[in-house]
Amino acid sequence: MTEADTDSRPMARTPTPTLLPLSRMPDATDKGGSDRLTLIDTFVRIVNAGSLSAAAEQLGATQPTVSRRLQALERAVGVRLIQRSTHGMQLTEDGRRCYDRAEELIASWQAFDSEVRGAGQQPVGTLRVVVAHAFGQQRFVAPLATYMKRYPGMRVEWLLHDHMPDFVADGVDCAIRVGEVADESVVAIKLGDVPRIIVAAPELLPDGYAPEHPSELAGLPWLALRTFYRDEIALNHTATGETVRVPFQARMSTDSLYALRSAALLGLGIAVASTWVFEEDLREGRLRQLAPQWRASALPLSLVYPASRLQPRRLRAFIDTMREELGTWLGAPSS
C-alpha cells in the first residue's frame, strides 16, 4: 500500500464523540499539507500493527514519516494519543477513546467513497491474501490470474500460510481456508467442498489387487496428513452413505500435502487427500485409487474476512472472482 492509499482495513466500533472535522491541515508536517484522513488512518494502523515500523511497512512509508503523521495528529487534537518509551508504545486514555472513533470515521469514509465513485469503477491498489500452502502454490493461481487480468490496476500479495491470520496485525484483507472455520469473529463465504480419495502406489498392493472395502485397508501401511487425520479416518460410501472408521498406525505423518503425495508415490503407504492433488498421477498410473466407492468427508473451502470490516471494492471483486472460478471447479453455485 502506498502513502496516498487510505483504503485501510476498518473495524466498526461503538461511536464516541467526534474526533475532529474533515478538513485539510495548514500546519501538517509534510510539505504542501496533508489530509487529516491520512493522519487518522496512520494512527489506526500504528495501533493495529503494534509499532511505528510495522505500520510503515503496511503503508509503504518510512518510519520517520509515520512518526511525523502521528505527531501532527496529536497537535491537531491537542492531546497525547500514544505514550512512547524505551519499553514500547501504549495508548493513553484519550488515545483509546480516539482510536474507536477513528476506526468508525475511516469506515464511514470508505462507504461514502464507494457510493460516490460508483460500483462500476475498476478497483485499484493492493490486496493481501493468505492461502493454504499447497492450494496457493498450484490450484488457486489460475483463479488469481483471472482476477489480475480482469482488474489490471490491482497488485496482490499472495501469502502462503496454513493458519488463520491476524487480519488486523498482519494487514490482511482475506484468507482462503481449507477445512471448518470455527472463529465467530470472521465471515466465511463457502466456495464449495473439496473431495478426498484414497490412493496408493501399485507396488504397495499385493498381486496388484486394489482393495474395494475399508476393512481391507487396515492391514496396509498408512501415511497421515496431520492437519486432517492422524491415527484414524472415517470413510463414507458414495451411494449408501454408510460410514466406516478405519484405525491405523501411520508409518509417516506430515503437515505438507506435497510431502504426502511424494511419500505415496514412493510406496511408503496409503494416502488420503484432495482429489486434484492425485489427478495426474492416477492418469499416468503412478498411483491407484483404493476403495473407489468410499471417500473421506469432503473439506469445506471458504473465503474468510473479518466480520467487522467493510468490503473495499478490491475485496468485493476478489470474492466475486473466486466464487465464479472455484465454484465452477468444485461444482458449487457461483452466486
Please check whether residues 46 and 93 belong to one and the same domain.
yes
- Residue 37, pLDDT score: 83
CA dist 39 and 74 (Å) reads 9
Q: Could you give phi then psi for residue 133, rounded to 5 degrees? A: -50, -65
The pairing of strands 174-178 and 125-131 is parallel
Check whether 245 has a pLDDT greater than 90: yes
- Dmax of the chain from CA atoms? 84
Residue 58 falls within a domain, yes or no? yes
Q: What are the residues whose beta carbons fall under 8 Å from the beta carbon of 92, sequence distance 6 or more?
A: 79, 80, 81, 82, 83
Report the CATH number at residue 265.
3.40.190.290
Residue 185 falls within a domain, yes or no? yes
Output the DSSP codes for 71-125: HHHHHHHTS--EEEETTEEEE-HHHHHHHHHHHHHHHHHHHHHHHHH-TTSPP-E
Each residue of 98-151: pLDDT tens digit?
A: 887 887 777 677 666 655 655 557 888 889 999 998 899 989 999 999 999 999
Please check whether residues 54 and 85 belong to one and the same domain.
yes
Q: Integer distance in angstroms from the first to the last C-alpha of the chain? A: 30
CA dist 225 and 231 (Å) reads 10
Please check whether residues 201 and 227 belong to one and the same domain.
yes
Query: Of 73, 98, 117, which residue is a domain's last?
Result: 117
Mean pLDDT of the chain: 83
What's this model's pTM, rounded to 2 decimal places? 0.65
Please check whether residues 69 and 87 belong to one and the same domain.
yes
Of 286, 259, 292, the C-alpha closest to 200 is 286
Residue 227 falls within a domain, yes or no? yes
Residue 158 falls within a domain, yes or no? yes
Query: Of 63, 88, 117, which residue is a domain's last?
Result: 117
Report the CATH number at residue 173.
3.40.190.10
Please check whether residues 98 and 130 belong to one and the same domain.
no
Question: In the structure, what pLDDT confidence band is assigned to residue 318 with cuts at 50, 70 and 90?
Answer: very high
Neighbours of 183 (CB within 10 A): 13
Residue 18 falls within a domain, yes or no? no
Q: Could you give phi then psi for residue 81, rounded to 5 degrees? A: -95, -40
33 backbone φψ class: left, alpha, beta (φ>0; ψ -120 to 50): left
Please check whether residues 272 and 230 belong to one and the same domain.
yes
Residue 17 falls within a domain, yes or no? no
| pLDDT (average), residues 234-260 | 95
Residue 270 falls within a domain, yes or no? yes
- Residue 309, pLDDT score: 55
- Domain with 161 in it: 125-192+300-327
Query: Of 117, 136, 156, which residue is a domain's last?
Result: 117
3-state helix, strand, coil in the chain (%, to 5): 35, 25, 35
Please check whether residues 70 and 92 belong to one and the same domain.
yes
Residue 276 falls within a domain, yes or no? yes
CA dist 208 and 49 (Å) reads 57
- Residue 81, pLDDT score: 92
Higher pLDDT, residue 332 or 167: 167
CA dist 90 and 111 (Å) reads 30
Q: How many domains in the chain?
A: 3
Please check whether residues 135 and 216 belong to one and the same domain.
no
Question: In the structure, what pLDDT confidence band is assigned to residue 275 with cuts at 50, 70 and 90?
Answer: very high
Q: What percent of the chain has pLDDT above 90?
A: 47
- Residue 33, pLDDT score: 37
CA dist 274 and 260 (Å) reads 11
Please check whether residues 93 and 131 belong to one and the same domain.
no
